[in-house]
Protein backbone atom coordinates (compact mmCIF):
# COMPACT_ATOMS: atom_id res chain seq x y z
CA UNK A 1 0.00 0.00 0.00
CA UNK A 2 1.14 3.54 -0.75
CA UNK A 3 1.30 5.55 2.48
CA UNK A 4 1.29 9.24 3.30
CA UNK A 5 1.01 10.59 6.81
CA UNK A 6 0.79 13.82 8.66
CA UNK A 7 0.80 14.99 12.26
CA UNK A 8 -1.88 17.60 12.92
CA UNK A 9 -3.03 19.85 15.73
CA UNK A 10 -6.62 18.58 15.88
CA UNK A 11 -8.15 15.58 17.63
CA UNK A 12 -8.94 12.29 15.91
CA UNK A 13 -12.63 13.03 16.50
CA UNK A 14 -12.35 16.34 14.66
CA UNK A 15 -10.73 14.65 11.65
CA UNK A 16 -13.26 11.82 11.74
CA UNK A 17 -16.11 14.36 11.75
CA UNK A 18 -14.93 15.51 8.31
CA UNK A 19 -14.69 11.90 7.10
CA UNK A 20 -18.18 11.23 8.48
CA UNK A 21 -19.62 14.11 6.43
CA UNK A 22 -20.05 12.41 3.07
CA UNK A 23 -20.99 15.68 1.41
CA UNK A 24 -17.49 17.03 2.16
CA UNK A 25 -15.87 14.16 0.18
CA UNK A 26 -15.32 16.18 -3.00
CA UNK A 27 -13.76 18.94 -0.91
CA UNK A 28 -10.81 16.84 0.16
CA UNK A 29 -10.53 13.89 -2.28
CA UNK A 30 -8.44 14.89 -5.29
CA UNK A 31 -10.28 13.79 -8.42
CA UNK A 32 -13.77 13.66 -6.92
CA UNK A 33 -15.63 16.35 -8.82
CA UNK A 34 -19.26 16.04 -7.71
CA UNK A 35 -21.27 14.28 -5.01
CA UNK A 36 -24.59 13.04 -6.37
CA UNK A 37 -25.87 11.39 -3.19
CA UNK A 38 -24.74 10.14 0.21
CA UNK A 39 -26.42 7.14 1.83
CA UNK A 40 -28.14 8.21 5.08
CA UNK A 41 -26.14 5.63 7.07
CA UNK A 42 -22.74 7.04 5.94
CA UNK A 43 -20.11 6.15 7.24
CA UNK A 44 -21.54 2.81 8.44
CA UNK A 45 -20.04 -0.27 6.75
CA UNK A 46 -21.77 -0.92 3.43
CA UNK A 47 -22.95 2.68 3.00
CA UNK A 48 -21.94 4.59 -0.11
CA UNK A 49 -21.15 7.99 -1.54
CA UNK A 50 -22.34 8.34 -5.14
CA UNK A 51 -19.85 10.61 -6.88
CA UNK A 52 -18.35 11.72 -10.15
CA UNK A 53 -14.63 11.47 -10.76
CA UNK A 54 -12.70 13.61 -13.22
CA UNK A 55 -13.44 16.76 -15.18
CA UNK A 56 -16.61 17.32 -17.16
CA UNK A 57 -17.39 16.09 -19.83
CA UNK A 58 -15.07 13.13 -19.22
CA UNK A 59 -16.26 12.43 -15.67
CA UNK A 60 -17.10 8.91 -14.53
CA UNK A 61 -20.06 8.30 -12.23
CA UNK A 62 -19.41 5.68 -9.58
CA UNK A 63 -19.45 5.01 -5.83
CA UNK A 64 -17.21 4.76 -2.80
CA UNK A 65 -18.28 2.16 -0.22
CA UNK A 66 -17.35 1.93 3.46
CA UNK A 67 -15.63 -1.35 4.25
CA UNK A 68 -14.76 -0.69 7.91
CA UNK A 69 -15.56 2.20 10.22
CA UNK A 70 -14.33 2.78 13.75
CA UNK A 71 -15.47 6.27 14.78
CA UNK A 72 -12.55 8.45 15.77
CA UNK A 73 -9.86 6.02 14.60
CA UNK A 74 -10.38 4.28 11.24
CA UNK A 75 -12.22 4.52 7.95
CA UNK A 76 -11.57 1.96 5.23
CA UNK A 77 -13.12 2.48 1.81
CA UNK A 78 -13.41 0.89 -1.59
CA UNK A 79 -13.25 3.75 -4.08
CA UNK A 80 -14.43 2.86 -7.57
CA UNK A 81 -13.98 4.63 -10.90
CA UNK A 82 -14.96 2.03 -13.51
CA UNK A 83 -13.72 1.18 -16.08
CA UNK A 84 -10.42 2.48 -14.67
CA UNK A 85 -10.66 0.29 -11.58
CA UNK A 86 -11.01 0.46 -7.82
CA UNK A 87 -8.77 1.20 -4.87
CA UNK A 88 -8.72 0.20 -1.24
CA UNK A 89 -8.20 3.30 0.94
CA UNK A 90 -7.46 3.13 4.66
CA UNK A 91 -7.42 6.25 6.82
CA UNK A 92 -6.05 5.70 10.33
CA UNK A 93 -6.24 8.33 13.08
CA UNK A 94 -3.92 7.92 16.06
CA UNK A 95 -3.93 10.33 19.00
CA UNK A 96 -0.69 11.39 20.63
CA UNK A 97 -0.15 12.26 24.28
CA UNK A 98 0.34 15.94 23.43
CA UNK A 99 -3.08 16.40 21.82
CA UNK A 100 -1.99 15.96 18.22
CA UNK A 101 -3.19 13.33 15.76
CA UNK A 102 -1.20 11.27 13.32
CA UNK A 103 -3.18 10.59 10.16
CA UNK A 104 -2.03 7.67 8.01
CA UNK A 105 -3.56 7.53 4.54
CA UNK A 106 -2.92 4.23 2.74
CA UNK A 107 -4.09 3.27 -0.72
CA UNK A 108 -3.61 0.43 -3.16
CA UNK A 109 -5.13 -0.17 -6.53
CA UNK A 110 -7.15 -3.34 -5.96
CA UNK A 111 -9.26 -3.97 -9.06
CA UNK A 112 -9.10 -3.21 -12.74
CA UNK A 113 -6.09 -2.49 -14.93
CA UNK A 114 -4.38 -0.23 -12.38
CA UNK A 115 -3.67 -3.12 -10.01
CA UNK A 116 -1.31 -4.58 -12.63
CA UNK A 117 1.04 -1.60 -12.28
CA UNK A 118 4.19 -2.32 -10.26
CA UNK A 119 4.18 -0.83 -6.75
CA UNK A 120 6.84 1.81 -7.54
CA UNK A 121 4.75 3.10 -10.45
CA UNK A 122 1.58 3.07 -8.32
CA UNK A 123 3.52 5.14 -5.79
CA UNK A 124 4.50 7.70 -8.42
CA UNK A 125 0.84 8.08 -9.39
CA UNK A 126 -0.83 7.89 -5.98
CA UNK A 127 1.55 9.56 -3.52
CA UNK A 128 1.28 13.17 -4.83
CA UNK A 129 -2.51 12.85 -5.13
CA UNK A 130 -2.81 11.41 -1.63
CA UNK A 131 -0.47 14.06 -0.16
CA UNK A 132 -2.79 16.73 -1.57
CA UNK A 133 -5.96 14.91 -0.40
CA UNK A 134 -4.49 14.66 3.10
CA UNK A 135 -3.53 18.34 3.04
CA UNK A 136 -7.12 19.25 2.08
CA UNK A 137 -8.61 16.97 4.75
CA UNK A 138 -6.43 18.60 7.41
CA UNK A 139 -7.35 22.13 6.30
CA UNK A 140 -11.06 21.33 6.56
CA UNK A 141 -10.63 19.72 10.01
CA UNK A 142 -8.54 22.64 11.26
CA UNK A 143 -11.09 25.12 9.90
CA UNK A 144 -13.96 23.38 11.66
CA UNK A 145 -11.97 23.21 14.90
CA UNK A 146 -11.42 27.01 14.94
Distance CA 55, CA 65 (A): 21
pLDDT of residue 77: 98
The domain spans of the chain are 2-145
pLDDT of residue 124: 84
Quick one: the chain helix, strand, coil %, rounded to 5? 30, 40, 25
Contacts of 35 (CB under 8 A, 6+ apart): 22, 23, 25, 26, 49, 50, 51
CATH class of 2-145: alpha beta
**Tens digit of each residue's pLDDT, the chain (146 residues):** 899 999 999 999 999 999 999 999 999 999 898 999 999 999 999 999 999 988 888 888 999 999 999 999 999 999 988 777 899 999 999 998 888 999 999 999 888 887 878 888 888 888 999 999 999 999 999 998 66
pLDDT of residue 47: 98
DSSP characters for 48-95? Answer: EEEEEESSTTS-EEEEEEEEEEETTTEEEEEEEETTTEEEEEEEEEEE
Amino acid sequence: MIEVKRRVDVTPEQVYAVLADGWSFAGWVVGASHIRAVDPAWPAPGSRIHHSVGPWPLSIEDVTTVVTAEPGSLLELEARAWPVGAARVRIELRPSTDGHTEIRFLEELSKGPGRLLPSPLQGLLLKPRNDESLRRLVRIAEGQAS
